[in-house]
Amino acid sequence: MSATMIKEFKLPDLGEGLTESEILSWKVAVGDTVSLNQVIAEVETAKAVVELPSPFAGVVAALHEEPGTVVEVGKPIVSFEVDDAGAAQGAEATDAESPAGPAKREPNLVGYGAVVEHSGRPARRARAAAPAVAPRAEETAVGERPRSTPPVRKLARDLGVDLERVTGTGPHGLITREDVQNFAGASAPDAQAPTAPAALDRETRTPVKGVRKFSAAAMVQSAFTAPHVTEFLTVDVTPTMELLARLKSNKAFDGVKLTPLTIAAKAVLIALRNNPTLNTHWDDEKQEIVQYHYVNLGIAAATPRGLTVPNIKDAEQLPLRELAVQLSELTDTARAGKTSPADLSGGTISITNIGVFGIDAGTPILNPGEAAIVALGAVRKAPWVVDDELVVRQVMSLSLSFDHRLVDGEQGSRFLADLGAILSDPAIVLTMV
């Protein structure tokens, strides 16, 4: 009979030296039997929401952190009860050759790469009477974190209450909502001040963390380190809109989502060929200008968790149909909060489509590490002069921000002019390639 032991799983570094992650949800509970590499939790890093696989095959003995908790890398988050086979990370499991077929090795996010056991719904042991989120053994000592629920901890943050100073009146010393409110009322300097609930009705405070915290820091760094210049150009995109309509009726594009962004993205890639200085990077540490010979095209996406800029790798190599498919997948994944850290890294130039919000122009801030970003305005019908006659055309404003350390005014202007020329007459591409 194999011996059993308790194994702790510490929060790993999920990429690029990130120091913390927030536990969004647990996919398992105490008493569940899990297989190797089974998804056990969903966590949010500073860049993305990722699924966390189990490094062990065994039974969940304790969940050390509740959803909503920000955990530092290296801290235990879950304990497993495992036998000798389950503890042998990377080794083949003793029951690998099951009726469901032999086990196989598969890559995964945090690099366990061990045996994947047969699939199926996890078995579930009878639940113990202990709470679903069990405290760590060391937390029973003096100095343990005050016991409370996530809503109560949020209320305490909103009211500026230090839970270390609050005495819990709930079961086993649990700090309740009333405990926090009573403490806040007793600590108020003015007895006539509004009660806690009334004060909360007047404002909402949301902790800055995860993707929004990372994005805010990145934008501040970019704005105050790269000398931004923004130029504008309004163009007649009627020919582009006509081309878009023809492509939508073309059988080669059946089932493919086509938008003005699709054509604009391809136009950006073509314009870069004659204006490569916009596809560069300023290496401040080495005091070098890095010229990229590939294009990882970033697409700014507004998500419920904040702004993200995932990118399409080697976009310059893609035909229009494949580019359209990847654009659609990229934006859908971003809005669902499922973008991987790899897709958020390594961009070389970006596009932000502010036109979808009905905005004509703006001064976009550079994605850190990139030399340029293009903002696409809304396509609107407007009076336009064609052959000395005033006619109604579909027009769009283009905004180009660039790093003046890397891109001179002439270079930025030529790129913007080329981009505008393509969108106003797609056939001009024949003279550029």
> Which DSSP helix (H) or strand (E) runs through 87?
helix 84-87
The span from the CA of 318 to the CA of 329, in Å, is: 14
The stretches of 129-259 forming alpha helices (DSSP H) are 150-159, 177-187, 196-201, 210-225, 238-248
The active-site residue, picked from 64, 118, 281, 404, is: 404
Q: Residue count of the chain, please give it.
A: 433
For CA atoms 393, 327, 364, 232, the dihedral sign is: negative
Structure tokens at 350: 């970006």
- CA-based nearest residue to 414, from 280, 282, 289, 276: 276
Six token digits for residue 224: 């105050």
Beta strand segments in 247-404, E: 280-283, 288-291, 297-299, 301-303, 306-308, 311-312, 349-352, 372-376, 380-386, 389-403
Type of residue found at 46: A
- Residue 241 phi/psi, 5-degree rounding, is -65, -35
Q: How far apart are the first and last CA of the chain?
A: 71
Distance CA 411, CA 229 (A): 12
Q: Kind and range of the H or E element at 263?
A: helix 260-274
281 annotated active-site: no
| Residues identified as active-site | 404
